Structure 1
Amino acid sequence: MTTGEKIAALRKEQGMSQEALGEKLGLSRQAVSKWEADQAVPTMDNLMELSKLFGVPVDTLLRPDAELMPKTEDSDESWPGAENQPVRNGNRKWKIAAIAAAGLLCVSVVCSAVSLWRVLAMQQQIDTLRMQSGPSTIYYPDNTSAENSDLADWSENVTVDRQNTENLLVTVSAVPRSMLDGETAKFVVRSGDQSWECDAEDNNGYSGKLSVPFVDTFSVYLTLTGTNGETRNILVTSEYDLEQRLRLSVTAHWNNGGISSTGEKNPTTTVSGGVEVRVYCSSEDVKPASSNIVLYRNGKVQDMQPIDIKDFTGDSTFYTDVNWRNLEGELGEYRVKVVMLDNFDKLYTADVD
């Protein structure tokens, strides 16, 4: 059995809930739950308290191969006919019992010494790992159901940062179910191996705002650090598909007409016809602000025609006619593109196919 399984079995044997055990140890129900799920290891002080509470050695709690042995009642040393035995037999029994007890005491002392040595060695290994890896941190899985949430309330908003359109602006607030005196708080945004953080302002709960690079997926955590250095990381929310939600999707093609060329010695080019432009965005926060169909010759702007985008509804198609004739140069020198700015001044381009 693992340490967590042993704690759970002993707790149930005592008829205690996780919350009741946590109260006896001065900890939260979540801390006990993490022990029993083997997501965290009790500290040495907590192990000693558990040992006293359940009446089992610390070594028994730590060693996977050590079984939990139920206590047995003292055996009845009387048997039928015992009163007829000579007194010397009774004396001999007591001598044997005393020798056995002394032997058991010696074995117990040795086992306790070995157990203490092993516990101290294990604690030293744990402390070494903590020093190497920094503060112990557990990031919860993406599960924000009311039953498992450590938050009494929370809110979050994400949009494009107007100060830097390559970034996202994340505004978040959270109220933990339990708030401890002296805790410091910050919000951490994690995306893959990257993370960004800001201090959380305490105002009947915690709030913060931070600008992060434009990533497609991230999770927000409230990180609480106690006066003893112990850290609680609480998942607030997760966001997905931000590139699709907060960026315009712009495509364009010729509905009729196109680019054509006439003449061989002195060729001229004509760009004429109807251009169909589709613009899509799932967020109401992002919308096109200005758009043009631009004519390029060898990469340089020659002319442009504005697109009427005032009736954008989130998924709209716009039709615009262009008519550029008698242009010098060959057909291959010309390109037609849609150039669009959104309301955050983010630039988008799309070739007219």
Structure 2
Amino acid sequence: MTIGQRIAQKRKEQNLSQESLGDALGVSRQAIYKWESDATLPEIEKLIAMSRLFRVSVGWLLGVEEELPSDLPPAELTDTQLKMVEEIVERYIQAQPPAKKSSWGKWDVRILFALCGILLALLMGMNSRVKQLDSNYDSLQNSISRVERSVDSQIGGISGRVEEILKAQNSLTADYGAEIASADLKENRITFSVHAVPKTYTEGMSVEFSIDNGTDSVSYIPGERAANGGFTATLACRLTDSINISAVFTSADGTRQTQLLERFGDLYTSTLPAVDLMTYDHLLYQKVDESGRIPLPETYVSTRPAFSVYAVNGDIGQSEIGSVRVGLFKNRSLIAWLEPCDQPDSFHGDLEDFSFFRLTGGTYITMTKDSDQLCFAAVVTDEYGRELVYSDIPYILQDGELTWPNTSDISNHDPADWRY
């Protein structure tokens, strides 16, 4: 099992919801969701807190230690337990018949005391060993984190340095730039202001600026001479998640040289509203029946508007939600749409921003391949009719029942990759 699956298992054994576990640990329900889906790892202090809450070791949560049987004695004796040992010894002494005392009677008591002492020492040693193991795991995890941060930092520094060197060696410009001038979300178009100053200008040189959005044909716009000896232009194209802007320098003899000026990624996605999609674990551990199908119980799914880091991008803006549909998908193909419904009676609290959807009971599915994946997904349509898809953690069939995969990718929001 993964770390996330172990956390989910223990949470369910203690009848805790993701929200309840989050409250106990001082984190959000989304944080628990990400831990259990293995999208992120809990911090060390949260692992320690969960080990105490679940009464397991940190090593077991990390998957490097087997869970100790629940019937093992406690790792250390409390004051109450020590008093019980003393009472047992006193009762043992009182139970000995006076007439049968012999020279071995004193040894019986001493042996009993010695055995109690040995037992106490063993238990204390075991407790010390467990604490030492937990400490070692914590230290190991900290060391791994430090190494990962160091490596990431070094790789990032090296990559940045290499990029700077390559730009300096291959640059045809002394100065250049491309900035977002405006965006029309209703028309799904974006406009850029660009400029480029040639590193070496020759008489008769001209510059064209190209814009490529990855789907339409590449557009070329002639640059206009500026007072600083450079060239400027205004470029526009359909908004997508991959836009490249380049400058094409043409000398008087017809020689053409091209330099990439800027790459813009995720601009389209950033303008669309985001939602949080939440299911409530009802499909986990559903089993295949005798007919080879999996019966699905009545299941509720909720959505609510999600904060997006892109919402602060004043150059582009972000549209409003027009509608949300939630469906059950197998391998990204629609099986059934869920019905919009009122807040279920079992859900308490102020859920004003939530929308609820219901999968009726009696739905049957088949999963015949190891690669088959089942998931709930929300199709979000914005106020201008543009769509994006947000999916939940998928389910796979393993040992005859539904469970979560060890790893999953829920980052594909492109409607072109979904069939509905």
Question: TM-score normalized by structure 1?
Answer: 0.40
Relative to its length, the structure with more strand (as a share) is 1
Relative to its length, the structure with more helix (as a share) is 2
